[in-house]
A and B are shown apart, each in its own frame.
Chain A
């Protein structure tokens, strides 16, 4: 035996024993402290919350009486108000924001967007987004270039909640560059902004980056911007990016405009990528009409099984006329008859008036 290991173990034993005591005490202390803190919070919030809600329940909420309560427990009351803010609408929301503004809480939040800590900046953006004050747009937009990805993501969501269409160019800019943010979050933010964003989105169709054009094309369809149809047709026909063309095709289908039928039919040509062709088939199904039916009837016999399947799927979802075409193809003696029979079976799974939804695979193709 050597002395060193034993000595080490003796020291280690003392260390481990000490740690056990420390952690044992820590667990017990934490449990006790949390129980007390929760009880205290419930007691204080139990007084403030009902009063706050009672005031908000008025037709024209007047929160001036909250100032008296704030003298006693300002921090907790402000925290309750910030917490409540995203959950209320209309006059109550306006009253809460005005109250925060009067107390200087919004100005403090704007100042906190310059904080050194990530959490401080992110929380400030979150609060400003909930408050929805347009004067905070630039403060939050600045955070789209923040060094922290977390802050950038919160800023994107906050701009969506704030709802100022002036921020759309900033949001589109944030898709590219050295610190990009995910497309899905930017799209969501612009959807939140609503129809006010349509003009900016149409302008965005001319952007240099394909990612931004694709988002604009997609969102114009989501917003139901009929005035954008001609621009979407132009993108579908001539954009160099396949992604942009696919989004344009999808949006034309979503808009349901007859002027989309011809370019979508052309997009189904075999020279185009498979993905674009299937999206175009689905879009034609959404638009409907005799020309679309004809294009889909031709498409069901396509050599590419994905395209043929998309055409059959689109027909099955088009109601009686689509089903009639499927029946016609199913009874014919060509290679498409089996596929048409399958989709006919899915379309006819009605029993006692219960509508049978197409398989999840089909649903997904429509949604994605």
Chain B
């Protein structure tokens, strides 16, 4: 019986090893290529800083105005500081549109009191249909460029942003999460591509970095730092490798598919033409970008640009507990599945250029289905190791035959993953070097090891759950994340931020479990 099992395993490995080797080579070659392209972009960027002309963007009265849309749901802890910080952005012409998405806490009352809001006639053109009822629109009596929309909750972040899009009055719209912290020059940085090439640039995305452990003052990061929590520390490295380098690389290849919802800038007219953000997908940020690609390609435009701005401009709290992280990654995975399914007609379709031929297939095979292959590899490795141990016990040398490949492969795969993380750290060190202390650097190195041993496998599992969630058509739910927020005086953002809301935790967990399992 045991020998039958061994022979079956042997047969499986003989076929699987070639597949997984090819998969491994293609995936990592793409990652390496993206890293190299990102490095080249950074090098180019830094050589051009002396004549970048950011000050001119500020001084130019022709710089396009920006409506910053901030969807807010139960953000009473930090909303005032964050809106104040946004009102202090260095930018010549902008407005902040806060969309209170039916908060059940004091979000709206705090805003009303702090900014002396007065209702204004809400005779708004509604080019985009929204589900949540618009209850009132407020303006700041003292003249701050602030509009607050009070709407009923529709259980969709997209619906809140669409309401903001309806009332936004500037040609560019910037979506920002209510808990995100922006650098004072954030808008200047992300608008720059629009100023330099207004004919072709249709959207830009800013890099988002973890704020945990950073020193915050009056809603602004004044000193980047490392979180105390290891889960958050690992995410610092992950954000560097995956988001900073990955997206910079895709942007350089004109293949950017994801602009983070936490900080993205779009031409309002185009988003309106698309009908706004899709309310039915959880990956509304990626969906919007995919939709933009589709829309523009169908119009015969091939010269448009979607640009990723690598300069650190936006900071956000990342989950510091496994349960919240798991929920976030399941949601991302499900969102990606929804986007790929919705735009499946673009897949392998030459009409959509490199997006259809390269980018979407990459996201399908390596991002969405990657966890399946990786989990299969982990299970196989575990089986091989178990059989190897059994082989030693039962003195059956054939049992050891495939273990050499499997173990060697695992070591190389982990080593390569570590190398990519280290490459990201190296690029960061040679470019922005935001991690000032040696201690931070050492912690980053350790975190990049941990990212590949344990963390990565956990992510695979959660992403796999997200995929199953989508396949079972489970109910879409964002869950509630109670944030600690930021104080107005200098504090270190605590690693305990993003704790679950105890009042609804059980309900949400059971809801998720129902839909995943």
Q: Which residues of A contact B195 (CB under 8 A)?
A: 182, 184-185
**Could you say which of A22-30, A65-73, A98-106, A322-330 contacts chain B?**
A22-30
| A8-B21 contact, Cβ under 8 Å, with A16-B412, A23-B423 | yes
Q: Which residues of B contact A16 (CB under 8 A)?
A: 412, 415-416, 418-419
**Could you say which of B10-18, B337-345, B470-478 contacts chain A?**
B10-18
Interface: B394 (CB within 8 A):
no
Interface: A119 (CB within 8 A):
yes
Contact, CB under 8 Å: A20 / B422:
yes
Interface: A43 (CB within 8 A):
no
Q: Which of A349-368 contact B (CB under 8 A)?
A: 349, 351, 354-357, 359-361, 363-365, 367-368
Interface: B3 (CB within 8 A):
no
Q: Which residues of A contact B67 (CB under 8 A)?
A: 360
| A342-B197 contact, Cβ under 8 Å, with A13-B415, A359-B139 | no
Contact, CB under 8 Å: A9 / B147:
no
Contact, CB under 8 Å: A157 / B405:
no
| A188-B401 contact, Cβ under 8 Å, with A9-B412, A31-B438, A360-B145 | no
In the assembled complex, the Cα of A349 lies from the Cα of B117 at a distance in Å of 11
Contact, CB under 8 Å: B169 / A24:
no
Which of A9, A191, A345: most chain B CB closer than 10 A?
A: A9
Contact, CB under 8 Å: A30 / B430:
yes
Q: How many residues of A contact B (CB 8 A)?
A: 56
Q: Which residues of B contact A183 (CB under 8 A)?
A: 62, 198
| A188-B47 contact, Cβ under 8 Å, with A23-B422, A346-B120 | no
Interface: A298 (CB within 8 A):
no
Interface: B425 (CB within 8 A):
yes
Interface: B353 (CB within 8 A):
no
Give B35-74 as 1s and 0s: 1 = Cβ < 8 Å from A's Cβ atoms.
0000000000001101101001001111111010000000
B38 vs chain A, min Cβ distance (A): 15
| A182-B198 contact, Cβ under 8 Å, with A27-B426, A123-B51, A359-B120 | yes
Contact, CB under 8 Å: A20 / B418:
yes
Q: Which residue of chain B is the closest to A191 with respect to CB atoms?
A: B61
Q: Which residues of A contact B375 (CB under 8 A)?
A: none
Q: Which residues of A contact B50 (CB under 8 A)?
A: 123, 126
B78 vs chain A, min Cβ distance (A): 23
A23 vs chain B, min Cβ distance (A): 5
In the assembled complex, the Cα of A20 lies from the Cα of B414 at a distance in Å of 12
In the assembled complex, the Cα of A157 lies from the Cα of B53 at a distance in Å of 8
In the assembled complex, the Cα of A26 lies from the Cα of B430 at a distance in Å of 9
Q: Which residues of B contact A125 (CB under 8 A)?
A: 51
Q: Which of B417-471 contact A (CB under 8 A)?
A: 418-419, 422-423, 425-426, 429-430, 433, 438, 441, 445
Interface: A90 (CB within 8 A):
no
Contact, CB under 8 Å: A10 / B408:
yes
Partner of A154 from the list B47, B53, B93 (CB cut-off 8 Å) is: B53
Partner of B426 from the list A8, A26, A361 (CB cut-off 8 Å) is: A26
Q: Which of B128-143 contact A (CB under 8 A)?
A: 139, 141-143
Q: Which of A109-126 contact B (CB under 8 A)?
A: 119, 122-123, 125-126
Interface: A149 (CB within 8 A):
yes
Q: Which of A28-65 contact B (CB under 8 A)?
A: 30-31, 34
In the assembled complex, the Cα of A103 lies from the Cα of B33 at a distance in Å of 45
Contact, CB under 8 Å: A349 / B141:
yes
Interface: A92 (CB within 8 A):
no
Contact, CB under 8 Å: B147 / A359:
yes
Contact, CB under 8 Å: B118 / A1:
no
Contact, CB under 8 Å: B198 / A184:
yes
Interface: A145 (CB within 8 A):
no
Interface: A187 (CB within 8 A):
yes
Contact, CB under 8 Å: A188 / B422:
no
B497 vs chain A, min Cβ distance (A): 29
Interface: A153 (CB within 8 A):
yes
Partner of B141 from the list A9, A122, A184, A354 (CB cut-off 8 Å) is: A354
Contact, CB under 8 Å: A9 / B121:
no
In the assembled complex, the Cα of A351 lies from the Cα of B61 at a distance in Å of 31
Interface: B108 (CB within 8 A):
no
Contact, CB under 8 Å: A364 / B169:
yes
In the assembled complex, the Cα of A6 lies from the Cα of B21 at a distance in Å of 10
Q: Which residue of chain B is the closest to A3 with respect to CB atoms?
A: B405
Contact, CB under 8 Å: A153 / B53:
yes
In the assembled complex, the Cα of A5 lies from the Cα of B48 at a distance in Å of 44
B11 vs chain A, min Cβ distance (A): 11
Q: Which residues of B contact A119 (CB under 8 A)?
A: 47-48
Q: Which residues of A contact B10 (CB under 8 A)?
A: 1
Interface: A19 (CB within 8 A):
yes
Q: Which residues of B contact A364 (CB under 8 A)?
A: 65, 93, 95, 169-170
Q: Which of A181-204 contact B (CB under 8 A)?
A: 182-185, 187-188, 191
Q: Which residue of chain B is the closest to A364 with respect to CB atoms?
A: B169
Contact, CB under 8 Å: B141 / A154:
no
In the assembled complex, the Cα of A157 lies from the Cα of B404 at a distance in Å of 63
Contact, CB under 8 Å: B65 / A367:
yes
B2 vs chain A, min Cβ distance (A): 19
In the assembled complex, the Cα of A23 lies from the Cα of B140 at a distance in Å of 53
Q: Which residues of A contact B17 (CB under 8 A)?
A: 1-2, 5
Contact, CB under 8 Å: A346 / B121:
yes
Q: Which residues of A contact B425 (CB under 8 A)?
A: 23, 27
Contact, CB under 8 Å: A20 / B56:
no
Q: Which residue of chain A is the closest to B10 with respect to CB atoms?
A: A1
Q: Which residue of chain B is the closest to A25 with respect to CB atoms?
A: B426
Interface: A303 (CB within 8 A):
no
Interface: B115 (CB within 8 A):
no
Q: Which residues of A contact B139 (CB under 8 A)?
A: 356-357, 359-360
In the assembled complex, the Cα of A355 lies from the Cα of B423 at a distance in Å of 56
Interface: A12 (CB within 8 A):
yes
Beyond contacts A5-B18, A154-B53: 13 other A-B pairs, Cβ-Cβ < 8 A, are A1-B405, A2-B17, A5-B21, A23-B423, A24-B445, A27-B441, A185-B62, A188-B56, A188-B61, A349-B118, A356-B118, A357-B139, A360-B95
A-B contact pairs, 24 of them (CB 8 A): A5-B21, A9-B21, A9-B409, A13-B412, A19-B419, A20-B422, A23-B423, A26-B429, A34-B433, A119-B47, A122-B48, A123-B51, A184-B195, A185-B56, A185-B62, A187-B62, A191-B61, A349-B141, A356-B143, A359-B120, A360-B145, A360-B147, A363-B169, A367-B65
Point out residues on A near B: beta carbons under 8 Å. 1-2, 5-6, 8-10, 12-13, 16-17, 19-20, 23-24, 26-27, 30-31, 34, 119, 122-123, 125-126, 149-150, 153-154, 157, 182-185, 187-188, 191, 222, 339, 342, 345-346, 349, 351, 354-357, 359-361, 363-365, 367-368
**Among all A-B residue pairs, the 4 with the closest Cβ atoms:** A184-B62, A361-B169, A342-B121, A126-B51
